[in-house]
Structure 1
């Protein structure tokens, strides 16, 4: 290998059965901080400089392909799971034009681009036939031990085959490799499946290359967490916790305050502006973007939404919505998809809004449902107002123009338009448009009947006093 190698292809092995996950979902599609495990590996490989990413799929192949249909990823099929060596052999044709192949695993989501880039640069600089990424761990039980002479790797010994002296070694094989393409596939032709599992092991390539006099080196990952694999739900939770800490630490380094970071959930890719304060119990998911100077009090969940600057949100649920600057929300607000709150809006307790736009400085203070509505600026929606949007067959829209006032406990039956500056009297059920500046009263006239209570008691109780014995 020449020293001028500047790029590589990544092959991600993702065909395992994942039986210990006890799941119908392919293992590599289980999510860590909102992203499938395989997605983390692919993105880090690309950031490290991989010009191509080839994923070897097996169980659930079509489901995995669909999950990454919009990404620049190639797939090859390992129809039968016959070991890691066999898996890499399935990618031989796909990488035949490459000089260097980086081998990764779809169930190792904690690996970082920085470590992968360093591995590749080390491999290229030393002109190795193979470079094994290793790590030193406190408890190496269950891992293959790396047998070295200086920095050269002589063998990778599985624990069941290791001597007592070899078991004492704390440097383990991560399973991540950098290979000279031609040399690794030549070596794979010599790998056999003469073992208990009847599989072709990629680790056997190390000894074969050594016998051929090739250079096989070790590259030690500085953070052992990066090479942690996920095989069951417990390890999934551990990986989630590690990545979650990384994400929140990164946000805090950029000026975001988390009052109790360990109680919060923040997905990979969530953006938060500086001087925003996140209280305990907050959940931020998907493509959510939070502006600067906001206060978000738990238990609040925000999914795929955009929140402006200086927004206050208390104990609310927000999904696929846009919230502009200076808005106050909560407690106990539910913003459903398609909601757009413009600057200065106030939405109070026990309000649900869906597929609606609320204009600047308007207020929906409490106990209301707003569905399929266009509300103008400086509108006041009284307590208990219902936007009646569904006739049993279709949804209809309601328009409330600037400066209108909707009295408490009113029903606006769509389709209907409330004109600019108009009033709707409390307790009205409005079914017709209200013109600009008008007062709409849509309720029965109140009638008081003097002496009715006394007469009823006499009739029902048998006496004028109404008292019972």
Structure 2
């Protein structure tokens, strides 16, 4: 290994009691993705050789989420951030490189910021520790990083211990740090717990290194939001709002029209091409791709769906995972698709369910059509050929195939294949009884009057 190999240590042992949830704090989603996964996705851009996650209560949930992508160490009891990082030492016993300490509940740290920290670690002055600082609008009671204009740190101090001059310093400590593996754990062994909480604090390694005559340096985050921690439902909601606002701005800058931006919600992996128009109150779940020129109308919900060029969706449409709309196809109000492909130019204008279905090009699916794809135990497919016409209020009982250019008459329940060019009508014979309804109404009125007289 080279000296620039990287290991990340993610602290995720906190109980997250303010969330009041059975779900581990760092697994609460933002834009459809657990906050821990947001953080790891950014870290992966630095190609770390090792990933160690420090866990505590709820460790099984984190291990189930990440599987073999990480090594786990348990912090028990929990005696502070310095103590937490120490738990990673044996997992990195055969590693020689840089160690970057991250927090599972601080999900928005950018990969560029992480890279700036590790690069600064190998600057000409070879700092022992690099600290990520930030300059909030209101420094409040954050710990301060006292540093010169070049980022060389002279002191780290907690707010309660700072004098007026130190409190005037606007550079605050985010908690994120980087150090060479040897320096990190050697300094941690010298951290004491002579404080009100009786805990071992990670920032103390900076002051110990400075006392040894070694330099330490600060890198400043681009924005306060990048290092915001999430500890409550309110902070989770604020983080979601922050993420959505940035995504909307990014989409519009890329040529997407959002009629009412504040009412449109994206997921972490939503892909939308230019010249797409999105009307108010649309939700994109994970796994959605929208091609150029598409129109997504109001109150539609899309998840795991692919929408082709110049397609129209909604209003009030639902595209579930596996839904594919090919070029210039259309689904209208109250249409639901699941594991279904709508061919080029095909349309299902209203009140239709297409599940486990392939619809050929230019086919027309009438109002109220249902593909009956589930028998209570297994799913079955329906195939509808090109230019087929399915009349309104039809039920297609899968497995079934409707041929090219075929017609299914309105109100039919189709249980057998329809060949190319055929017309299929499946209805009960209409029975007419003249005068029957009048006689029925007369009899019922007399009966009701008799019951009333008895009372």
TM-score (norm 1): 0.86
Q: Is the 8 A contact 1:9 1:98 kept in 2?
A: no
Residues 454/356 of structure 1: CA separation in 2 closer, same or farther (3 Å cut): closer
Look up the match of 2:340.
Answer: 339
Deviation at 1:161, TM superposition (A): 2.7
Look up the match of 1:84.
Answer: 81
Work out the CA distance in 2 between the residues paired with 1:77 and 1:445. Answer: 73
Q: Counterparts of 1:6-405 in structure 2 under 5 Å? A: 6-69=4-67, 72-96=69-93, 97-126=95-124, 127-149=126-148, 151-314=151-314, 315-320=316-321, 321-336=323-338, 338-372=339-373, 373-387=382-396, 389=397, 396-405=398-407
Work out the CA distance in 2 between the residues paired with 1:454 and 1:217. Answer: 94
Residues 454/65 of structure 1: CA separation in 2 closer, same or farther (3 Å cut): closer
Deviation at 1:149, TM superposition (A): 4.8
Deviation at 1:49, TM superposition (A): 4.0
Look up the match of 1:444.
Answer: 429
Work out the CA distance in 2 between the residues paired with 1:223 and 1:5. Answer: 30
Secondary structure at the residue paired with 1:265?
coil
Structure 2: give runs of 5+ residues left out of the alignment.
Answer: 374-381, 447-455
Deviation at 1:446, TM superposition (A): 3.9
* CA-to-aligned-CA distance 1:204-257 (integer Å, 9 cap, x gap): 111111111111111111222111111111111111122222323333333322
RMSD over aligned Cα atoms: 2.2
Q: Is the 8 A contact 2:4 2:97 kept in 1?
A: no
Deviation at 1:398, TM superposition (A): 2.2
Secondary structure at the residue paired with 1:274?
coil
* CA-to-aligned-CA distance 1:104-150 (integer Å, 9 cap, x gap): 11111111111111222122124110011101111112321122355
Secondary structure at the residue paired with 1:355?
strand
Deviation at 1:202, TM superposition (A): 0.3
Q: Is the 8 A contact 1:110 1:239 kept in 2?
A: no
Work out the CA distance in 2 between the residues paired with 1:352 and 1:224. Answer: 46
Residues 317/174 of structure 1: CA separation in 2 closer, same or farther (3 Å cut): same
Work out the CA distance in 1 between the residues paired with 2:411 and 2:305. Answer: 30
- Equivalences, count: 432
Q: Is the 8 A contact 1:399 1:417 kept in 2?
A: yes
Work out the CA distance in 2 between the residues paired with 1:177 and 1:53. Answer: 15
